[in-house]
């Protein structure tokens, strides 16, 4: 039987609690089960891991929404559904757990985040820090079981938390520091599709030869298409890189004119 965890019960909070209450609950429990206060209690390490995981999810609005949605749909099995879609790396990405541990270290003389997590998780994470004029970045990325520090494995991670012009520099420095690759979306493609007037007005189903992929697609033409409108085929563009999603294919509509109409246009020239 699978282990059905409930993140709200682990942190002792309610679903409607604010982000501030979630953080306060985590700080309280992290202090209670900190390894430096539980040297004679080996089970505290596993409890601390549960608390870390619960906080990493519930403190992130997007992850929290996904977790809540799975619980509403699947009941107690919602945890398993969530874990099937979120890896350890996904769960801990962007978390401020390291900052909270450093705050406790300064306030109570505990060991810092780096030492505690190395003891609890082994080599399953990387911390990073870089400084450049006007730019400072610090945090950690959790890779879960199987990751070996110093290996040549290139890990695709999402750096979407850094935005804007400064974010581009930050992403570049972080990738250089960690030797990681950022997923990149594939390029969109464009082509032309020719319809007769009846197909444009009434809609139709037909075959389209995707020359880039050397494959034939069955597509549906919606009714009421106009000249130069575009039909979007999701995911049929260039493949993504390093785990990124593929681009889209846009078919620009060209309506074929009847032969008589073409002849009349020639006479006007």
Percent of the chain with pLDDT over 90: 21
Six-digit token string for 144:
């879960």
- Tracing tokens 């879960």 back to the chain, one arrives at 144
Structural domain boundaries of the chain? Answer: 7-178, 189-262
How far apart are alpha carbons 100 and 110 in whole angstroms? Answer: 12
54: nearest Cα among 10, 3, 95:
10
**Residue 262 — very low, low, confident or very high, per pLDDT cuts 50/70/90?**
low
95-133 in b/e form (b: 16+ CB < 10 A) is: bbbbebbbebbeeeebbebeebbeebbeebbbeeeeeee
CATH placement of domain 189-262? 2.60.260.20
Residue 267: is its pLDDT beyond 60? no
Residue 230: is its pLDDT beyond 60? yes
Contacts of 46 (CB under 8 A, 6+ apart): none
The architecture of the domain spanning 7-178 is: Orthogonal Bundle (1.10)
Q: State residue 73 phi and psi, 5-degree precision.
A: -85, -40
116: nearest Cα among 24, 52, 31, 34:
34
What average pLDDT score do residues 1-8 get?
73
62's enclosing H/E stretch is helix 61-74
Contacts of 15 (CB under 8 A, 6+ apart): 8, 68
**Per-residue pLDDT tens for 75-89?**
888 888 888 888 877
**Per-residue pLDDT tens for 33-57?**
998 999 888 888 889 989 999 999 9
Write down the pLDDT at residue 167: 54
Residue 63: is its pLDDT beyond 90? yes
Tell me the pairing of strands 230-233 and 249-255. antiparallel
How far apart are alpha carbons 70 and 7 in whole angstroms? Answer: 13
**Residue 91 — very low, low, confident or very high, per pLDDT cuts 50/70/90?**
confident
Residue 233: is its pLDDT beyond 80? yes
**Per-residue pLDDT tens for 126-159?**
555 555 555 445 555 555 444 444 443 333 444 4
Distances (CA, A) of 147 to 1, 52, 110, 151, 157: 27, 19, 27, 8, 14
pTM value surpassing 0.75: no
How far apart are alpha carbons 261 and 239 in whole angstroms? Answer: 41
Distances (CA, A) of 41 to 35, 36, 100: 8, 10, 22
- Tracing tokens 């879609």 back to the chain, one arrives at 85
pLDDT averaged over every residue in the chain: 77
**Per-residue pLDDT tens for 14-36?**
999 999 999 999 999 999 999 89
């Amino acid at each position: 039987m699978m282990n059905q965890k409930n993140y709200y019960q682990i942190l002792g909070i309610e679903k409607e609690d604010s982000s501030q209450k979630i953080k306060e609950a985590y700080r309280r429990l992290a202090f209670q089960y900190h390894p430096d206060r539980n040297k004679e209690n080996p089970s505290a390490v596993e409890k601390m891991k549960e608390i870390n995981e619960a906080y990493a999810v519930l403190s992130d609005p997007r992850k929290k929404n996904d977790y809540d949605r799975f619980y509403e749909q699947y009941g107690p099995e919602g945890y398993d559904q969530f874990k099937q879609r979120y890896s350890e790396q996904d769960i801990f990405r962007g978390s401020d757990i390291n900052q909270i541990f450093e705050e406790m270290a300064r306030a109570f003389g505990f060991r810092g985040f780096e030492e505690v997590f190395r003891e609890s998780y082994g080599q399953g994470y990387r911390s990073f820090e870089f400084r450049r004029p006007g730019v400072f970045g610090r945090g950690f990325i959790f890779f879960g079981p199987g990751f070996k520090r110093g290996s040549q494995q290139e890990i695709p991670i999402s750096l979407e938390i850094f935005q804007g012009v400064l974010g581009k520099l930050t992403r570049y420095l972080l990738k250089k520091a960690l030797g990681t690759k950022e997923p990149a979306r594939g390029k969109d493609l464009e082509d032309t599709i020719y319809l007769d007037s009846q197909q444009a007005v009434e809609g139709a189903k037909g075959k389209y030869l995707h020359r880039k992929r050397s494959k034939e697609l069955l597509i549906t033409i919606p009714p009421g298409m106009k000249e130069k409108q575009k039909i979007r085929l999701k995911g049929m563009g260039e493949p993504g890189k390093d785990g990124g999603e593929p681009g889209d294919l846009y078919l620009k509509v060209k309506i074929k004119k009847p032969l008589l109409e073409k002849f009349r246009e020639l006479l006007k020239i």
